[in-house]
Structure 1
Amino acid sequence: MSTWIQTCSGEQFYPFEPYRNEFRIEDIAHALGNICRFGGHTRAFYSVAQHSVLVSENVLPEYARWGLLHDAAEAFFGDMPTPIKAVLPDYYAAERQTLMLIADHFGVCPDAETALAVKMVDRLVFRDEVFALMTPVHPELTRQMRDMGVGGCGLGLRIEPLPPEQAAALFMDRYRQLWPEAG
């Protein structure tokens, strides 16, 4: 069995040997544009790329880079629903290690304050996404959102799902805004 996967640019990615990897933002944008949030259980296709842009646009400017990249490892691991990920500690550890290497590669060092600020906005965006894309919303999910601190309201975002190619392009546009030095 192969210990690597091929990215859309033709590069090899080693999920359990992450130090061997080179990270290309184009691979990340393309993959996140093709990965549906919520394990695909939405009324319309809605990508992790679009979600990441929304988080990035709704945090304070100093947190925007981490906001864009906070789910970047999902480009290589997929968007596994949290309850499943919670019982797979090796998977979670590999994904987390890859995420930190991606952050380092792109010059982002998410300290505790940054991580907390982005996580709160991530949860608020999550709430808006749930009510826009998953109606009817199960009462237990509503209770869980309340427990996360986002029961009353989200950010009031209007969620208009984009096709994968447009979501990936939106992600790349946001990347260029936040990393103008990258050219």
Structure 2
Amino acid sequence: MRRPHPPIRSALARGRMWDLANPNPVDVDFRTIAAGLAAICRFNGSTVLHYSVAQHSVLVARQLPPRLRLAGLLHDAHEAMMGDITRPMREALVRLAGASARKLAEFEMAQMEAVHRAAGLPWPLTPEDAMAVLAADNRVLTTEWRDVMAEGAAPHYGPSREHRKTWPALPFTIRPQPAMQAEESYWQEIASLLPPHHLKPAA
């Protein structure tokens, strides 16, 4: 059994608190996740308009078969607790601040595990299911590069030429939603995928 760490409490959207050091499925509130992800802009804000992690997550979910849609919707849910650690920031933390890439990944995985268990999903996903979610995520990324990424952002956040060839853009245009609309879309999506007792607010 994992020994608890001294708590590190962080304020989330809607005024809720989260213990980053001891993520607990009991404390997961999916309405808070919807609000938090809708407030976070993809690519550190390097987009033509506010384009949220919530809208991104719904798009990923909708590229997957029904049994994997919930996993796709929640693949970035941990960012509602810890923010979006972008690729350049992750590199800076490791190279300049002495952070361990392995420890950062473990920290991220602990938040993800709590969310998955709160949703009744297996943790970890099977390698096959994880690859399917990643493939959907990658196709959405290529589409975001084409439709919403700001000029000059591609070298930092954009997919490589090889990535774009392997995971081509989706056959529609992404139109960024305002944060409130993205939050509601995410909430409606998760409400359609989770049993009602999972949607009750955390204590």
Please show how residues 73-88 of structure 1 align to structure 2 within 5 Å.
73-86=78-91, 87=94, 88=99
The corresponding residue for 1:161 is 176
Name the SS for the 1:5 alignment partner: strand
CA distance in 2 between counterparts of 1:170 and 1:58 reads 15
Q: CA deviation at 1:146?
A: 3.0
Pick aligned residue for 1:133 from 148, 167, 188: 148
The corresponding residue for 1:57 is 62
CA distance in 2 between counterparts of 1:143 and 1:169 reads 27
* TM-score under structure 1 length normalisation: 0.87
Q: Do the aligned partners of residues 152 and 99 (structure 1) sit closer, same or farther apart at CA in structure 2, a change above 3 Å counting?
A: closer
Aligned-residue sequence identity (percent) comes to 29
Paired positions, count? 182
The corresponding residue for 1:28 is 33
* TM-score under structure 2 length normalisation: 0.79
The corresponding residue for 1:107 is 120
Q: CA deviation at 1:145?
A: 2.7
CA distance in 1 between counterparts of 2:158 and 2:185 reads 32
CA distance in 2 between counterparts of 1:53 and 1:20 reads 22
- More deviation in 55-64 or 136-145? 136-145
Letter of the aligned partner of 1:169 in structure 2? E
Structure 2: gaps (5+ residues)? 1-6
Q: Determine whether 1:123 maps to 2:138.
A: yes
Structure 1: gaps (5+ residues)? none
- More deviation in 170-179 or 83-92? 83-92
CA distance in 1 between counterparts of 2:78 and 2:174 reads 23
Name the SS for the 2:174 alignment partner: coil
Contact 2:145 2:158 (C-alpha < 8 Å) held by counterparts? no
CA distance in 2 between counterparts of 1:63 and 1:132 reads 25
Name the SS for the 1:58 alignment partner: coil
Letter of the aligned partner of 1:49 in structure 2? A
- More deviation in 93-102 or 36-45? 93-102
RMSD over equivalenced CA pairs, Å: 2.5
Q: Do the aligned partners of residues 150 and 15 (structure 1) sit closer, same or farther apart at CA in structure 2, a change above 3 Å counting?
A: farther
Q: CA deviation at 1:144?
A: 4.5
